[in-house]
Structure 1
Amino acid sequence: MTSVKVVDVRFEHYRPGNTLGIDETKPRISWRFEGTYKVKSSQAYLVPWPSDEPLTSRQRYAVLVRAYLSKESEPTPWSEVEDVEAGLLNRQDWSGTGLISAPWSDEQNKPLPEDLFRKQFSINGGIQSARLYITSHGVYEAEINGVRVGDHFLAPGWTVYEHRLRYQTFDVTELLSDGENCIGTRVAEEGWSTAGSVSGDWQKVQNLPPLSEDTTLVAGSAEPTRRIETTKPVSKIDTPSGKLVLDFGQNLVGYLRIRVSGSRGHKITLYHAEVLEHGEVGTRPLRHCEAKDTYTLRGEGEELYEPRFTFHGFRYAQIDNWPGSLDDILEKVEAVVCHTDMEETGDFHCSNDMLNQLWSNVRWSAKGNFLSIPTDCPQRDERLGWTGDIALFALTATFLYGCHGILNDWLKGLYFEQKKRNGIPPMVSPNTIVDGLFAQVHPFAIWHDVTVLAPWALWEEHGDAEILDQQYDSMVAWLKSVPMNEEADKDHLWDSSLFQLADWLDPSAPPDAPQKSATDMMLVANAFLIHSYDIMVRIAEILGNDDSPGCKTKAAIAREQYAKQYISENGRLTSDSQTAYALAICFNLLAEPSQLKLAGDRLAEIVQDNEYRVGTGFAGTPFVCEALVQTNHMDVAYGMLLNKKCPSWLYPVTMGATTIWERWDSMMPDGSINPGDMTSFNHYAYGAVAKFMVERVAGLRQLTPAWTRCRVDPCVGGGITSARASHLTPHGKISVSWKVIEGGEVQIDMTVPPFTEMEVVLGNGDSDVQVVGHGEWSFKRRI
């Protein structure tokens, strides 16, 4: 019997423990191997459902897996049992249920208290198994017999309600008892949801018409949002105005939980802010959002308070009117961190502490903005699913976290809204913007290219073509709706009369005009158009489609027209900017090798002339360092990456940032907040540089989808003497570490999972490359 074990058995892309009530009838199965092994079997990832019979509603299977590592080997031991249970797969499964509502209030334009529902019922006889299938328009928490059901936060999650309404499945067997029971949505004091505890004036619910047939009830693929961790404040601050402020040492997303004693009717107010400005909580960036919670004490000894249906983005909490002594307040208050419960899949560390802090900042911004949907920011009066941010961050997000579920769900809703707008997606999804330019059916490059870029990122990470097939019509609809220029020599480029957001938040743009970048807005738009065409050509090949949108031809013609419009013979671009050259290099827009070299040299010159400071906005930031390395300017790339002057990635770190900022100078050097109306201190877009840190600093680069072939080639420089990166791939954990050793050499150690080949660069370029398979390996190479 082999010593290898089969572990981590999964169904589709669900994590173990999240397979109660799934939508799939034939879920594919994946697993990983543990132990010392040589695997010759062909597949252990997304293996077809092993039964000819599909799952039916509520059907449950217990699955065990064993594997033969080769045709001649003994099988592995059976894996641990993993359970999978189908949800309600057909609309008729919901027959006999209906929508209920509390009586409607006339006060529809102001915040209303939560509604409270209860239903008492009897059970006679033994209870073998019980499930609760529940959803709502809005958010809910449920209790049975006074015990909370499940651990979800802000269930059912935010979706495009008129298209897809997610429901949850809970095993409530242990919560029920013979005889009288009570179920309720819990938004009040303990006891109201227990059998027999009826008091006060309870009204009958209103029975509403059934859901429209256009609305699909789905379990969805996204992991639940949960309360993930708690953290205590690190210090207590007395502000210049005499206010009490607690510092949690980390900008986070969640809420405050307090334990407090005081007289009945005493009110405590909690204010939340990301930064201090001149010693006081900086609330101006929140705009109309008050970020304020108020608690009125019962006056019955020590009380525990935590809000149930809100979250804030904050590092600092101002507490007004705290009763009694402040001596132990650091123990009485804690922050509850909330986000979608994604698996942490990627890590990075190096000998430079500031880069490590930058990595931490990216991670905290990613998880804080993945709360049911991918948002732009978690704190101000916005918190929306902006398309442009995730379009540029998706490739980084998929390295950091297992976010297939949340992005898959979000993309389905995006396409529904896109179909209602003649192929043009909304700027945010779910689309809640009702006025202004962003509410109009106006096409925007980058933001709407998310229809192509986000599914492509998921394909690259998982190698699962289902996401491409699912979203293919969305991609085609978008690219067909891009309005073209009417001039003959530009008719495969964007209509230049349309406003674009360009290199949004370029540091040279005025605070209140973030679209006024140094790079021509149409140059940026057309670069991303060609990039999307290129990806679509590859997607059509993967799916075996006939390229019905004609993207291959369109890309070729658009490239020619782009070159005529924006590129001179000497490699200079009409916009002589960091973003223009970075996009041209990384999107392969330069036809001749000589042009590529000239463009790279010019980019390096611009960066050096700018004292290695960043000169890019949303569009160019993910690509500028990579463009420098691709054109043999690694030293300049390191100079930019490690620069501490504003604007740079490390300037916020010098200012104490613990998340990625929306603007390079969200906080000015004098400690004042950027005067622009739009300033967030938790925005992941500029954190896309984390991909460069993994690929070039640590040296771990993915070459093929699902990480089946990778490359190790660290860029040793910038005074960095060691680095490491790891990633949980579909086939297992891959890791690389290197360190400078005596004799002018670098020692490289790596672990390669099954079904993966690793190219190890031991010389300059491709002059000495060794290819290895799964196992543990060590190499040395000259610096």
Structure 2
Amino acid sequence: MLKVSEITIEYLRNPVGLDGRPWFGWILCSDKNNVNQEAYRLEIARDEDFETIVYESGWVKSRESIHVEAAGFCPSSCKKYFVRVQVYDGEEESSFSEPAFFVTAVLEQEQWKAKFITAEGSEDKDSSGSTYLRKEIEVSGEVQEAYACTTALGLYHFYINGHKVGLDEMAPGWTSYKKHLCYQTYEVTDLLKQGANALGAMVGAGWYKGKMGFLHLRNNYGDQASFLMQMVIRYRDGREETFFTEESWLGHQAPVIFSEIYDGEIYDAGLEIEDWNCPGHCADGWKGVQTVEFPKSALTAQAGSKVKVIETLEARSIFQTPQGDRVIDFGQNLTGWVRFKVRGRTGEEVRLKCFETLDSSGNVYSANLRSAKEEIRYICRGEGEEIYQPHFTFQGFRYVHVLDWPGELKEEDVAACVLHSDMEETGEFSCSHPLVNQLHSNIKWSMKGNFLDIPTDCPQRDERMGWTGDAQIFCRTSCYLMNTYTFFRKWLKDVAADQTPEGGVPHVVPDIISGREKDDWLLSQGTHSAAAWADVAVINPWTLYLMYGDKAILEEQYDSMKQWIGFMRTHARDHIWNYKLQFGDWVALDAEEGSYFGATPNDLTCTAYYAYSTGLFVKIALILQREEDAKEYEALYGEIVKKFQSTFFECDGSMTAMTQTAHILALHFNLVPEAYRRKTAEQLVKLLEKEGGHLVTGFVGTPYFLHALSGNGYADKAYELLLKEDFPSWLYQVKRGATTIWEHWDGLKPDGTMWSPDMNSFNHYAYGAVGEWLYRSVLGIETDEVFSGYRHIIISPQTGDALAYAKGSYKSALGLIRVSWEKTQTPGERRLAFTVPVNAAVKIRLEKGAVPSETDGLAFRLEDGYMTAESGSGSFEIFYRK
């Protein structure tokens, strides 16, 4: 039976708030093998029963089921559409799928009537409090549909008739503001009623005007927290009415009297105004609002990947430390906040301070938060049970220090709300080694903790910025773990928006550090264009193309990529690229004592990335049929590689820099002269053995270490490195009780002391980039560059001798790819089982020297020294010996 099981719109399920003509994808199911779509039929309607069809494709002969456009379809603003699909596989027609839907946002800039409004004045410039905004409207008939588009300069909650609209938190997120500001779209039909209705918002400082960045400056983007809303109502009698923020709204102080990203929140429940967001409220004491100028051209609809409370954890225990402090343990390092219920007298306080870890004596350790307070204060109203969770802040924590609590505190009184961007989980992995399974869990939790609207470096101390290097090295891993397409697509707009006129890419995006007077020891040397960091402009769009098969992201980011290559080209000297401040192999263990900078020369790391990004750009230009660019930059790429090889290799094939990272980059970026590849790999192994089998790499070398080994005949060494349990290693952290990835290999040292508190996050996903190797090499799930998006899958697990089994899956845009392998009772024999989704093809490549014995009908042949077979969709089980 052939069936369309799931429809996505721009890789999202039922998105609300698209600002253009969408594209579609679908997942097919069949009980047969080798099934391919031959044709499809797509319909779009204004109703779920498809009585009012606005687009019909007819039967289209095509195998495409990932990025299908509805040519000629012209959607209207703020409307809901339903879509369904039928397919034909050459033998059988499916029935129409269950309908999916999407809602459009404001599609034309001139349709905006709303103004940004604020209840703050110039005297509130340094305020971190909050304000209420309200307006009553009259709904003059039976509502057929209604949609509201909302955003803020700051953070906001939007209400209709006393009900919070949507589940989003920390909206509208952090962007480059005047260059790029997201707005959210909500279907609000069911919240409205005939007659009087109240619209309300509570607005806070957030990233817009709050204290942010290394220098702790305020008002980085503006000094008045403001709100914007535009709502269209369509009545059943055919009328349409638009309501929007303007000068007639009213404002008032709200009970969040302090809220900052770093420092937490103070909420005075005694300042609550009953029914302030309900119709009929007496607005005595409310004041008029001001309008705030802001370019509407910066507004961009956000249809998905918005921040929400994704899950809730119960307290694991409440205990007293040796120093006598009362502490709540949630058992997992996470990002979010504490939700609690309390009974207290009027004016009594709850005071909670969040932190990550205990010291070696079991006491509260908060020095690594630096100046961030991470403190919640709640002042009781004094009327029975009160329930509270923060509004405009978040914390990174496992533990909570209870400074004040009225009455008895019980475990059921508190819960940890896990907060991150809403992304579908797509990857699963497990194996016979429990510490590796915990490592995989730690990687996923660090991703959850740092994918909060932007890819932050850490969620707890006074930083929490979008470091481009971290996002670059972790991108492929994150795409296996979750559907990050929308998340990165949004953030990459800011990468482009914040580039310098010359094409340089800031160290952090949104760029909160450039253009400031700096006494910071690091950033005074330069705030943009560091190799491996700035290369996010090219590597991340390329990674999204590989994982999702989407050329649109390459088109959108093409100018940004080209400008970045141009920047490097301008500042290179005879094709050796280096520029101002370079982080190099950041926090590598081969650094000099007291230094963060690894031993690999910057000329080498910078030029390696210059070559790598330029080579990727050539591929991208060819994919987009930009032949002139492809020709020009292919010549440039050849010159860079030639210069790299002549500069960083001796005549005998030895590298000039005897560091692990130098050899890793040369191997993984294919910069080694072919005649010296084997020698370079052998030297990397020698450098590894010189350190007792341990890595001494930092941010640049670590992500590719296992790939450089396993890709050059040393899969056994890669496994040995992965499974090291003593310092420094991934599993050292696991054995020390980590539930997330640490910033430093020795954040918690073997003797129980801490790394320097100035930079010691225990939730820092960068070294979690090893997760990519678990999927691409241990499970062997890979995509073909030519047929990206896993249209053509390569399954090639490297089983090694260290594990008894491994199993996992990746949900691609075409459907679920499953792989499992295990050692059987027969010495040297492996059982390999895998599932290929409908409309995909697969090449199975066994390990070198493997001899298949049972092939489930697959025809294996010898190809480049490996036994390979090809197939279409279905589930297969084979046995081989190695």
| TM norm structure 1 | 0.94
Match of 1:478 among 564, 583, 588: 564
What residue in structure 1 maps to residue 277 of structure 2? 193
1:503-582 pair list within 5 angstroms: 503-509=585-591, 513-515=595-597, 517-548=598-629, 550-582=632-664
1:425 and 1:370 map into 2 onto residues whose CA distance is: 20
Q: Post-superposition shift, 1:631?
A: 2.1
2:407 and 2:757 map into 1 onto residues whose CA distance is: 40
What residue in structure 2 maps to residue 52 of structure 1? 72
Q: Post-superposition shift, 1:782?
A: 0.7
What residue in structure 1 maps to residue 248 of structure 2? none
Read off the aligned partner of 2:347 and give its amino acid letter: G
Q: Post-superposition shift, 1:480?
A: 0.9
2:128 is the counterpart of 1:108: no
2:17 is the counterpart of 1:21: yes
What residue in structure 1 maps to residue 419 of structure 2? 338
Read off the aligned partner of 1:35 and give its amino acid letter: S
Contact 1:485/1:491 (8 A) holds in 2: no
- After superposition, the Cα gap between the structure-2 partners of 1:9 and 1:44, relative to the gap in structure 1 and judged at 3 Å, is farther
Q: Post-superposition shift, 1:106?
A: 2.2
Q: Post-superposition shift, 1:44?
A: 4.3
- After superposition, the Cα gap between the structure-2 partners of 1:50 and 1:528, relative to the gap in structure 1 and judged at 3 Å, is closer
Match of 2:878 among 768, 779, 782: 779
CA RMSD, 1 decimal: 1.9
2:442 and 2:121 map into 1 onto residues whose CA distance is: 44
Q: Post-superposition shift, 1:56?
A: 2.1
What residue in structure 2 maps to residue 4 of structure 1? 2
Q: Post-superposition shift, 1:82?
A: 1.5
1:636-651 pair list within 5 angstroms: 636-651=717-732
2:208 is the counterpart of 1:208: no
1:31-430 pair list within 5 angstroms: 31-37=26-32, 38-41=35-38, 42-50=62-70, 52-70=72-90, 73-95=91-113, 97-109=114-126, 111-186=127-202, 188=255, 189=272, 191-198=275-282, 201-209=285-293, 211-212=294-295, 215-277=297-359, 278-326=361-409, 329-418=410-499, 420-430=500-510
Match of 2:543 among 457, 464, 484: 457
1:665-744 pair list within 5 angstroms: 665-675=746-756, 677-704=758-785, 705-744=788-827
3-state SS of paired residue (1:453): helix
3-state SS of paired residue (2:402): strand
Q: Post-superposition shift, 1:216?
A: 2.4
1:611 and 1:293 map into 2 onto residues whose CA distance is: 46
1:651 and 1:270 map into 2 onto residues whose CA distance is: 31
Contact 1:763/1:769 (8 A) holds in 2: no
2:10 and 2:703 map into 1 onto residues whose CA distance is: 30
- After superposition, the Cα gap between the structure-2 partners of 1:530 and 1:202, relative to the gap in structure 1 and judged at 3 Å, is same
- After superposition, the Cα gap between the structure-2 partners of 1:511 and 1:358, relative to the gap in structure 1 and judged at 3 Å, is farther
Please list the CA deviations of residues 115-168 of structure 1 after superposition, one character each: whole Å capped at 9, or x if unmatched. Answer: 111111222322222111111111100111111111101111211110122111
2:143 and 2:824 map into 1 onto residues whose CA distance is: 66
What residue in structure 1 maps to residue 843 of structure 2? 759
Q: Post-superposition shift, 1:261?
A: 1.1
Read off the aligned partner of 2:341 and give its amino acid letter: R
Contact 2:352/2:404 (8 A) holds in 1: no
Q: Post-superposition shift, 1:194?
A: 0.9
Contact 2:797/2:846 (8 A) holds in 1: no
Contact 2:370/2:757 (8 A) holds in 1: no
2:618 and 2:563 map into 1 onto residues whose CA distance is: 15
1:51 and 1:622 map into 2 onto residues whose CA distance is: 41
Gaps of 5+ in 2: 39-61, 203-253, 256-271, 850-864
Read off the aligned partner of 1:451 and give its amino acid letter: A
3-state SS of paired residue (1:29): strand
1:308 and 1:441 map into 2 onto residues whose CA distance is: 32
1:386 and 1:406 map into 2 onto residues whose CA distance is: 15
2:168 and 2:395 map into 1 onto residues whose CA distance is: 17
Q: Post-superposition shift, 1:220?
A: 3.0
Contact 1:251/1:315 (8 A) holds in 2: yes
What residue in structure 1 maps to residue 225 of structure 2? none
Q: Post-superposition shift, 1:592?
A: 2.5
3-state SS of paired residue (2:138): strand
Please list the CA deviations of residues 708-757 of structure 1 after superposition, one character each: whole Å capped at 9, or x if unmatched. Answer: 22233322235210001211111111010011111121101110012322
Contact 1:221/1:406 (8 A) holds in 2: no
Contact 2:429/2:807 (8 A) holds in 1: yes
1:528 and 1:237 map into 2 onto residues whose CA distance is: 50
Across the two proteins, how many residue pairs are aligned to each other? 763
Q: Post-superposition shift, 1:472?
A: 1.0
Contact 2:120/2:131 (8 A) holds in 1: no
1:231 and 1:144 map into 2 onto residues whose CA distance is: 30
2:662 and 2:801 map into 1 onto residues whose CA distance is: 25
2:116 is the counterpart of 1:30: no
Contact 2:317/2:330 (8 A) holds in 1: yes
3-state SS of paired residue (1:656): coil
Read off the aligned partner of 1:525 and give its amino acid letter: C
